[in-house]
Structure 1
Amino acid sequence: MRADNSSHLVLSARRRHELTRAKTVRALRELDIAGVPVTFEAVARAAEVSRSWLYTQPDLRDEIERLRALDRRPLPTRAPARQRGSDASLAGRLEIALARNRDLTADNQRLRRQLAHALGQLRAAGIPALEEPTAPRHTSITIGPC
């Protein structure tokens, strides 16, 4: 009678399966980080597994489909999925920037009024004011370097 070696075969198959899954997860991460479009074919090629095997793994299939759906959105630069900002986050950042712009515009107008008042007081006191700058004046709506 032969010895039952099936436990060794089961253990070997389990190890091979886990190794294959680890290679596939690593390939998914690398493709995402590189900004390469994530497709079943690209993952299968990078992980050296078959596409049919990928379709039989529900969690891997879901992750590939999720990343593939993200890749369909037009983005100027490809960033890894975990670093991409959500619409709510981007809207919040825009609102903060607009509020900061309003505050800076108000400060600029306040400082211009104070300067005009101070120059008026100097003129009234007979003190010569500073020379007019030779460079053209910029309005408060000018954006960019002077």
Structure 2
Amino acid sequence: MRPDNSHHLIAAAQRRRADTLQRARQALQDLGDTGQQRTVTQIAAHAGVSRSWLYAQPELRDQLRQLTATPQQGEPAAPQVARSSEASLRRRLSLAHERIRELDNDNRHLRGQIAVLHGQLRANRIAANPVADTVHDANTQVKPLESPLDPR
């Protein structure tokens, strides 16, 4: 019968666990000293361990929560975002409405000009006055629409 040597395996596993815990603690300390943000991913990468292993270590997880919950003394506080006042929002809204009215008026004016030009073009075609149709004359692939009133 062989002697039971499992105590060697148990001791090696305990040493490996203690070494890994020490590396993770050292990673926490190193990242804290440099002022870098401490996250589980960063500590895992720095210590050379998996994130799941870190999550399984309650004392490290608790220590990490404490360090990430309190802002560092050297870190500047995040700037407070000033909310727009109601008057400012109302002014922006009225300017937006004014701009919409201007654009709507421009569209109406341009549509009116297009209607007048189409009417002149149609009147000239009916009166058989030759009009230079730059779109269709320059492009031989585009065929003008045949109209019953078109004398062509």
Q: Which has the higher contact order (CA 8 A, sep 6+)?
A: 1
TM-score when scaled to structure 2?
A: 0.47
Larger Rg: 2
TM-score when scaled to structure 1?
A: 0.49
